Amino acid sequence: MTAGAATELWRMSATELAEVIRARQASSAEVVTAHLRRIEAVNPAVNAVVTVLGEQALQAADAADRALAAGADLPPFHGVPFTIKDNIDVAGTPTTQGLKALAAAYPRRDAPVVERMKAAGAIPLGRTNLPSGAVRWHTDSELWGATVNPWDRTRTPGASSAGEAAAIATGMSPLGLGSDGLGSLRHPAQCCGIAALKPTLGRIPHATTSGPDFAAIGMQLTGVYGPLARRVADLQAALAVLAGPSWRDPWTVPAPLRGPERPGPVRVALVVDPAGNGTAPQVQEGVRKAAAALEDSGYVIEEAEPPSIEAAANALLVMLSTPGIRQGWKEFLAPLAPPGTRQFMSAFFEAAGHPGAMAAEQSFMTRQSVLRAWGEFQEARPLIVAPVCTEPPFEAGTDLNEGRVAETIGTMRMAMAVNALGLPAVALPVGVAGGLPQGVQVIGPRYREDLCLGAAGAIESRLGVITPIDPR
């Protein structure tokens, strides 16, 4: 393969790379080498990849190429590299969560999502940055430092999967694994101009062996793992690999990847300004672009808002601020955390109003009633197109300014409502305005990722993709 052709490999999507390897147009070793060279070239400017697994990846690529030469049956991502957020277990490397206290926290085995990607032929290429403890809406780790938005270094790349998002946006990785509890897959996707899938609660297993495997019920009901990529087709292929039950995560269920066909055109609820609390013009324009693309594709668009968005977002705030969570944070986690993380959590708890036991119980009841109301709403309009964050990426490092945590909670109200309800959503770019990406999320009913991905693919086919890019 020529040097020019090798350079182009890092620009390809994960599914394109799988086809190139399968067709013997490039070897897995060439694909992995192209991405390692891209990491060497651009990672110093963005600080997205914090651990490079170069030697192991090249050894795995050689084994993949030998299997291909021997005529073995090839799994879907045979020989394709991928990256993993540093709070997801990869055996042989520490799951640091960006904390000095966990710098030597080696897991006993891979997380289920990593096991499944490896079984599908994919090759771990590196670990990616996150804010310390996966806390904050800006990625700055006491262990690894800050990740830079490749579009504008003065703006946040998002959190907490921003290391993944920046790596994918700049071509260092074609596909990654991240997590989402407060919008942490979708917000970096919006900030960096890539696509991400937040799955339904119970669709993709979530488990760890690198530390105490416990989480309060509010965390169990809201946090998920999911894929990030530049192309919607890659998210769909990754979902087929990652989905399914595992004894390691008791929430997971054997739900089918495709639901029943709906009669007639799919109706879409367009939400430009969730709960009427204000949305920036740049973000509103992006949401309307997505709606126009869907309408052009045969979807029926209706400006309608699902019920109780703010109530759902506030319920999540309380579910993650119960007396037990606050006490556990104070006694066990705060002593391990850096000042910025402690400052964020203090402001987060303050925004929640320090709910007592009864208010905490009420938040779970609110979740149940709002989820039922959204289910009825989505009977008629199964898809919802809305902002992820109602503001463009804020200035890097300002997320801890006085009052900013509460302000960001307000701008992330739609993303937080989706987390509270455990619903699936695909985030994807729809263009660029003012030098920054515009992004939207397509939200579906429980276990209807297929509807979300179908609509996201229709948007992408009309509006295109905007990455990979060189850091600016």
Six-digit token pair at 73? 């049956």
**Burial class, 357, CB count within 10 angstroms (exposed 0-12 / middle 13-18 / buried 19+):** exposed
Residue reference for tokens 């969560």: 97
* H/E run at residue 432: strand 425-433
Cβ 35 vs Cβ 133: under 8 Å: no
Burial degree of 189 (CB within 10 A; 0-12, 13-18, 19+): buried
CA pair distance 146, 329, nearest whole angstrom: 24
Q: What is the distance between the alpha carbons of residues 252 and 270, in angstroms, rounded to a whole number?
A: 30
Q: How far is the C-alpha of 91 from the C-alpha of 89, rounded, in Å?
A: 6
Which of 177, 165, 105 has its CA nearest to residue 137? 165
Q: Is 136 in contact with 436 (CB distance < 8 Å)?
A: no
Beta strands in 237-316 (DSSP E): 267-270, 300-303
In whole angstroms, give the CA distance from residue 426 to residue 140.
25
Q: What are the Cα distances from residue 314, in Å, to 84, 344, 404?
A: 30, 17, 17
SS3 335: helix
How far is Cα 151 from Cα 111, in angstroms, rounded to an integer? 31
Which residues belong to the active site? 85, 160, 184
- Identify whether the C-beta of residue 175 lies closer than 8 Å to the C-beta of residue 82: yes
Closest CA to 290 of 388, 188, 415, 386: 386
- Phi/psi for 93 (5° steps) reads -130, 145
